[in-house]
């Protein structure tokens, strides 16, 4: 496999127990990274070679702060973050409940904030790091029944662009990926 310079680099992936996140964890491990990933519930976890699995909800800022501390204690300074955890609660707009709206905003947008905030200041201090946020084609083009989801994924692109401008002077890269539809539990 081609080297991407990730050998022994510590990378944290949220929602790494299944779907796209699990594929990211596997690839990072193949590339020689030291990987830690979060999962929401123990019951859905699948084996991930040597990666460290930590149960934590991205909507809980204190829990995500504890995750960052735990990863740095066990593996070393976090070099990379993949903010992947996300949910859908789709419905046509008139049927979209406040609960649907809040749950998707809390997980897909505030969850990214909760994931990045404990680590970004340390990346600035260390003058290195790389962040990848998982957005969606829905955030770029919109999608029927996904006003809440598309709003969060568009917001993640805005967050990424702004943070990338700010972080560049510290040698920290911030990017987003917008996948199209991929067959996972989500879809």
Q: Which positions touch ligand NAD (CB under 6 A)?
A: 14-15, 17-21, 38-40, 57-59, 84-87, 107, 111, 134, 136, 179, 181-182, 184-187
149 is catalytic: yes
DSSP codes joined into one string, 120-158:
HHHHHHHT-EEEEEE--HHHHH--TT-HHHHHHHHHHHH
Q: Which of 1, 33, 20 is nearest to 133 (CA)?
A: 20
Distance in Å, CB of 125 to ligand NAD, minimum: 26
Strand 10-13 relative to strand 34-39, pairing? parallel
CB 14 within 8 A of CB 83: yes
Residue closer to ligand NAD, measured from CB, 37 or 79: 37
Query: How far apart are CB 157 and ligand NAD at their closest, in Å?
Result: 12
Residue with Cβ nearer ligand NAD (21 or 80): 21
What is the closest distance, in whole angstroms, from the C-beta atom of residue 127 to ligand NAD in the complex? 28
> Which member of 79, 113, 124, 149 is catalytic?
149
Is residue 82 within 8 A of residue 21, CB to CB? The reply is: yes
Residues known to be catalytic: 149
């Amino acid at each position: 496999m081609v080297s991407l310079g990730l050998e022994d680099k510590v990378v944290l992936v949220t929602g790494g127990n299944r779907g796209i996140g699990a594929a990211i964890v596997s690839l990072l491990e193949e590339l020689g990274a030291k990987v830690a990933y979060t999962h929401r519930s123990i019951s859905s976890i699948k084996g991930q070679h040597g990666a460290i699995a930590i149960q934590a909800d991205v909507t809980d800022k204190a829990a995500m702060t504890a995750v960052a501390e735990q990863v740095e204690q066990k593996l070393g300074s976090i070099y990379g973050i993949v903010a992947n955890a996300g949910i859908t609660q789709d419905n046509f707009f008139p049927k979209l409940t406040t609960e649907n709206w809040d749950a998707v905003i809390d997980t897909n947008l505030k969850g990214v904030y909760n994931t990045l905030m404990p680590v970004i200041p340390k990346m600035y201090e260390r003058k290195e790091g790389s962040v990848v946020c998982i957005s969606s084609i829905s955030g770029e083009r919109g999608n029927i029944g996904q006003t809440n989801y598309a709003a969060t994924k568009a917001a993640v692109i805005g967050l990424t662009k702004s943070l990338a401008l700010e972080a560049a002077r510290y040698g920290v890269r911030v990017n987003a990926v917008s996948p199209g539809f991929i067959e996972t539990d989500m879809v």
